[in-house]
């Protein structure tokens, strides 16, 4: 059974669709009622924004951009963003799709029922824990949306891999600045009890998400990272809600049921693979690639991209909560040294008993893709020291633009690495 058939047969697919439609409908209703729309980036301490609901409404434009990527609209929208704003083909495809969408919507373009309407932001909150590009993206949005206000959290000393008390204190101060900004925009003071409740719910969802990802360690595995990519939306955008807890509890229960019944994606796994970098949301890089890999007996069982949202927060005190937020966003994979990246992959290969890693050299994400060839060779060498033959396979692609990914090239690389070794 292929990925599409598995997904269509899951009750969670309907829940995700209902969530998406309901989320954007509520966002537009809030916008019409004068509630400030707050855009946040994927790796932002969103719990502080959630604590101000319903006096602000939080939206993740990256999730919406991924939907535009999946509907193969990115190339056309990129051309608009390049022509009207001066972005380039080397810019992030999320940014290009989002800016192009905003401009085309203003021009009266009807995107149809499958693309929900994204309201324009009043507040733009970014954090460069994932990359500096998101901050540039939000600067561009601010220039296009008169009256909008922006604040960026800078985690400083990126790529040094050190989480010092001084660094945490500086980031914590910026989180406090964001809270003050939200108080001004909402007209309400932060309710600390509500923040603790949101953080507790966030931790519950994170623990369930971690439990789900751990099923990939089963041999044979009942899940693939492709399904993880499809299930990740709520851990990004709905952390801190009961809805996210309920969704991931059901996901864990359903997956545990598969384990109990002895069900797996592949009855026999010829090779177990891991995935580096963002997913490719277009058909070639998601649905078709999943079917191709599974057809050849390759099981994609884990991904460092899916691991990003596994940070639990300290709810023992207000200062402890903000300190843990600050430390969590300094500790992202994209902020690690090359040695730390190699060590993290070496551990993950061992934990998942993997035979190889697919390093997606994502044209849109230079930060995530930094020196993947070096990381691949480093992991291979560490595993070889322990008598294990592991292959790192670097291939070019993009999360939104289809033409960059060459599936035949990837198939050839897999054949060269595995079949001829």
Q: What is the pLDDT of residue 212?
A: 98
Q: What is the pLDDT of residue 9?
A: 78
Domain carrying residue 84 = 12-190
Residue 372 located in a structural domain = no
Residue 130 located in a structural domain = yes
Q: What is the pLDDT of residue 60?
A: 97
Tens digit of pLDDT per residue, the chain (421 long)?
Answer: 899 999 887 889 989 989 989 999 999 999 999 999 999 999 999 999 999 999 999 999 999 999 999 999 999 999 999 999 999 988 999 999 999 999 999 999 999 988 999 999 999 999 999 899 999 999 999 999 999 999 999 998 666 778 899 999 999 999 999 999 999 999 999 999 999 999 999 999 999 999 999 999 999 999 999 999 999 999 999 999 999 999 999 999 999 999 999 999 998 999 999 999 999 999 999 999 999 999 999 999 999 999 999 889 999 999 999 999 999 998 889 888 999 999 999 999 999 999 999 999 999 998 899 999 999 999 999 999 999 999 999 999 999 999 999 999 999 999 999 976 6
Domain count within the chain: 1
Residue 127 located in a structural domain = yes
Cβ–Cβ under 8 Å, residues 367 and 155: no
Nearest in space to 56 (alpha carbons), one of 34, 79, 84, 83: 34
Q: What is the pLDDT of residue 161?
A: 76
- Helix, strand, coil share (%) of the chain residues, nearest 5: 55, 10, 35
Residue 228's contacts (CB-CB under 8 Å, 6 or more residues apart) are: 212, 213, 216, 303, 306
**pTM for the full model?**
0.95
Residue 85 located in a structural domain = yes
CATH no. for residue 17? 3.40.50.11890
Cα–Cα separations (whole angstroms), residue 179 to 27, 128, 354, 397? 21, 17, 43, 38
Nearest in space to 182 (alpha carbons), one of 25, 29, 31, 35: 35
Alpha carbons 97 and 75: distance in angstroms, whole number: 8
Q: Give the number of other CB atoms < 10 A from CB of residue 295.
A: 10
Alpha carbons 375 and 381: distance in angstroms, whole number: 10
Identify the H or E element spanning 150: strand 149-153
Residue 181 located in a structural domain = yes
Residue 161 located in a structural domain = yes
Residue 280 located in a structural domain = no
First to last CA, the chain: 29
Residue 385 located in a structural domain = no
């Amino acid at each position: 059974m292929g990925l599409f058939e598995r997904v269509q047969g899951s009750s969670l697919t309907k829940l995700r669709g209902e969530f998406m439609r309901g989320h954007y409908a509520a966002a537009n209703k809030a916008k019409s009622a004068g509630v400030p729309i707050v855009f946040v980036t994927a790796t932002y301490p969103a719990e502080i924004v959630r604590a101000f609901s319903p006096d602000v409404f939080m939206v993740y434009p990256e999730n919406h951009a991924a939907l535009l990527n999946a509907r193969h609209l990115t190339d056309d929208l990129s051309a608009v963003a390049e022509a009207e704003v001066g972005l380039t083909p080397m810019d992030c495809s999320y940014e290009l799709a989002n800016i192009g969408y905003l401009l085309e919507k203003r021009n009266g373009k009807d995107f149809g029922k499958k693309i929900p309407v994204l309201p324009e932001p009043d507040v733009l909150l970014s954090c460069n824990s994932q990359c500096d590009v998101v901050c540039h993206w939000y600067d561009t949005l601010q220039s296009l949306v008169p009256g909008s206000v922006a604040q960026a959290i800078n985690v400083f000393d990126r790529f040094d891999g050190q989480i010092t008390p001084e660094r945490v204190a500086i980031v914590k101060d910026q989180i406090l600045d964001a809270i003050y900004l939200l108080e001004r925009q909402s007209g309400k003071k932060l309710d600390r009890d509500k923040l603790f409740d949101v953080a507790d719910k966030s931790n519950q969802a994170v623990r369930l998400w971690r439990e789900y990802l751990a099923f990939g360690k089963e041999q044979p595995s009942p899940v693939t990272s492709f399904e993880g990519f499809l299930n990740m939306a709520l851990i990004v955008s709905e952390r801190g809600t009961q809805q996210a807890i309920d969704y991931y509890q059901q996901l864990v229960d359903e997956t545990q049921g598969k384990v109990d019944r002895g069900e797996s994606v592949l009855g026999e796994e010829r090779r177990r693979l891991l995935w580096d970098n963002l997913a490719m949301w277009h058909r070639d890089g998601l649905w078709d690639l999943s079917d191709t890999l599974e057809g050849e007996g390759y099981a994609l069982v884990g991904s460092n991209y899916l691991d990003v949202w596994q940070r639990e927060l300290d709810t023992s005190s207000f200062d402890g909560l903000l300190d843990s937020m600050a430390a969590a966003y300094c500790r992202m994979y994209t902020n690690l040294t090359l040695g730390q990246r190699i060590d993290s992959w070496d551990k993950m290969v061992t934990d998942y008993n993997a035979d190889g890693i697919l390093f997606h050299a994502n044209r849109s994400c230079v930060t995530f893709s930094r020196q993947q060839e070096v990381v691949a060779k480093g992991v291979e060498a560490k595993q070889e020291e322990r008598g294990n033959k592991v292959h790192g396979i670097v291939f070019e692609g993009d999360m939104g633009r289809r033409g960059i990914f060459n599936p035949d090239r990837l198939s050839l690389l897999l054949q060269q690495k595995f079949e001829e070794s």
